[in-house]
Chain A
Amino acid sequence: MEQFLAIIIAKYNYWLYVVLMMIGFYAMIGKRNLVKKLIGMNIFQTAIILMFVSAGAKYGAKIPILNKHEVLEHGVRAAQVVNPLPHVLMLTAIVVSVSVTGVALAILQRIYREYGTLEEDEILEKLGR
């Protein structure tokens, strides 16, 4: 038990992202309401974004804004600044996830106008008739 806890605590950020991702995955697959599916998709994407961001973090490191003259003289001490690249990548991923959500919401609006409901079961029932 001790050992198991130690494993979890050592890499707790990754465990958190796995839990969050599974919550999102469950909502996408298990829920029957289309908006809940979409929110599940957002949780799923957020989990991955958090994983990337936490991969760039370091203990005791500062933000990666450096003094130009100092860097020219001593060079960059990589251990003292967090890795900015995952953050920059995730900015793009956030843009992607926002646009997918936007398209999905627009489509949900059309579905609601067509069927008057966003419950998958009720839509399938109406289609069956």
Chain B
Amino acid sequence: MTTSNLHMYVLAAPLLTALFVNMLGRVSRSYVAPLVLGALGFSTLASLGVLSRVLDQGSYSYTVGNWAPPMGIELIIDPLSALMLVLISSVALLASFSALPMVAKEQAGKEHLFFTLYLILIAGLMGLVMTGDAFNLYVLLEITSITTYGLIAMGKGRAPLASFNYIIMGSIGACFYLLGVGYLYILTGSLNMADIAQILPQLGGDAAMATALCFILVGLWIKMALFPLHGWLPNAYSLAPTGAGLLVAPLMTKVTIYLMVRVMFSIFGADYLFVQNPLVQSGMVWLATAAIICASCLALAQRNLKRMLTYIIIAEVGYMVGGVWLANSTGLSGAILHIVNDALMTLCLFLAAAAIAYRVGSLDFDNLQGLYKRMPITMAAFTVGAFSMIGIPPTAGFFSKWYLILGGIEAGHWEYVVALLFSSLINAILFFRIIAIAYFRKEGDHARLQREEAPLIMQGPLILTAATLIVIGLGSGPLVRGIIKLALPVGF
């Protein structure tokens, strides 16, 4: 094992283990947990190694099978993709601790099938953040989508229907992306992102290039559920098995936003997007503003904890898309920091929701009464996650929101700043309503509530995630200076 191909081990560990989980899991279910945790633990350690190497020696590219780019497929490891690798592998590791008992309870007897898809999904996400090839990106996007369709369809009741709607919408998104890549290929004759980026400026931004940009962006927006295209997400994520929601909700939308950043700056370039088309840029900030406000209002109408969280995810997508399109370095660093923070906040809230679902069963608001008495540790961690979503210092959510607001003021987009503050206010209402239900109301029938926490294997990652939110919040200055500033594209 040398350090120059360490990132291949990060990706190969879950991919190969998926095979073994499927084969050995048939023999005995007891093989599943050590294999999954072992593979993801190895990936997390190796991805930390990749990050430290990149910070030490600068970004590098790797050609799989020694076919030189632009013909061969190039993997690009720069600070941003190394940071995303660490984020994906650690979130997946934490989520799987909690997913294991949940799956054993909800999908008893199907653990090996569930975790096969689960591990392939993680490998697909890792491939997505590394690839430097536009068509390879499409294939990996479909790998992650197909595994997600399968995972969601394993849920009960309406879940297959939600999954089918997701298939239709997701396929439209992927096809639009592929169509955009086709336009780029016809224009430039290349599929390598760096190569396309070199050729495109010589063509002088004609209609075909704008169409390609349009198709690619709309395709990715469908996949990330930006507001008018969000219809598939709430059902799919809230009806998915709890174990699948733990992984899919924190990572899928965030990785797609990373892809948008990648496509925007590695293929089209900041000059074409922001300087040549200022109207599109400010239009996008307005669209993100609308997304934040509408999704926040929709979240108010929900009466189920998990459904409410899915609408908050949609609002957060608006935060990050707006931050990227603000076209200044403060906004972009805020958006990238928010990708990290939002993945951890969503993970924290979904882990808490999973722990509650494990003990209580239903997540409707009426069933949450008296939870602070029953599950004090879970609810304490939930409160930290909620404070981070609202943006109360010193939790992580405050700092990325602070950067986004500063970026909005710098760019003069006051509507975006107002939307962010409005959304924080709505989040405060949403979460304090839940805290009030869980804390103050008394349960009528059972006068004495037994203290019954979720098993330790579910509590451990929850407490760790909540602590990480505070640590990242306090350390966000060094994080931005040390990693995210390096990760910004050229020209910022």
Contacts and interface: CB of A to CB of B under 8 A. Distances in A.
Interface of A: 25, 28, 34, 37-38, 41, 44-45, 48, 51-52, 55, 86, 89, 92-93, 96, 99-100, 103-104, 106-108, 110-111, 114, 123, 127
A55 B178 contact: no
- The dominant DSSP class at the A interface is helix
16 contacts: A41-B168, A41-B172, A44-B171, A45-B175, A48-B179, A52-B182, A89-B135, A89-B191, A96-B139, A96-B146, A99-B142, A103-B149, A103-B167, A104-B164, A107-B164, A110-B153
Contacts of A34: 164
Contacts of A28: 168, 172
B150 interface: yes
B149 A107 contact: yes
A55 B172 contact: no
A52 B142 CA distance: 18
A92 B138 CA distance: 10
A51 B182 CA distance: 8
Interface of B: 135, 138-139, 142, 145-146, 149-150, 153, 157-158, 160-161, 163-164, 167-168, 171-172, 174-175, 178-179, 182, 185-186, 191
B172 A99 contact: no
A31 B163 CA distance: 18
Nearest to A55: B186
B437 to A, nearest CB: 27
A37 B169 CA distance: 11
A107 B160 contact: yes
Contacts of B182: 48, 51-52, 55
Contacts of B146: 96, 99-100, 103
Given A51-B182, A99-B146, A111 B160 contact: yes
B135 A45 contact: no
Nearest to B162: A107
Nearest to B167: A104
Nearest to B161: A111
Contacts of B153: 103, 106-107, 110
B160 A93 contact: no
B240 to A, nearest CB: 13
B171 A86 contact: no
Contacts of B161: 111, 123
B196 to A, nearest CB: 14
Contacts of A45: 171, 175
A48 B175 contact: yes
Given A51-B182, A55-B185, A110-B153, 15 more contacts: A28-B172, A34-B164, A37-B168, A41-B172, A51-B179, A52-B182, A55-B186, A96-B138, A96-B174, A100-B146, A100-B149, A103-B150, A107-B149, A107-B163, A114-B160
A17 to B, nearest CB: 9
A37 to B, nearest CB: 6
A41 B158 contact: no
A70 to B, nearest CB: 22
Contact of B175 (A44, A89, A92): A44
A114 B191 CA distance: 44
Contacts of A106: 153
Nearest to A108: B164
B114 to A, nearest CB: 15
A28 B166 CA distance: 12
A48 B174 CA distance: 11
Contacts of A127: 158
A127 B159 CA distance: 12
A56 to B, nearest CB: 10
Contacts of B191: 89
A112 B274 CA distance: 49
Instruction: Identify which of B146, B149, B153, B175 gathers the most chain A CB atoms within 10 Å of its CB.
Output: B175
A111 B145 CA distance: 20
Contacts of A111: 160-161, 164
Contacts of A92: 135, 139
Contacts of B142: 96, 99-100
* 3 interchain residue pairs of minimum CB distance: A110-B160, A96-B142, A107-B153
A86 B185 contact: yes
Contacts of A108: 164
Contacts of A103: 146, 149-150, 153, 167
A92 B175 CA distance: 13
A55 to B, nearest CB: 5
A48 B142 CA distance: 15
Contacts of A25: 172
A104 B150 CA distance: 9
Given A92-B139, A110-B153, A111-B160, A100 B171 contact: yes
Contacts of B139: 92, 96
A107 B178 CA distance: 24
Instruction: Identify which of B142, B171, B172, B174 gathers the most chain A CB atoms within 10 Å of its CB.
Output: B171
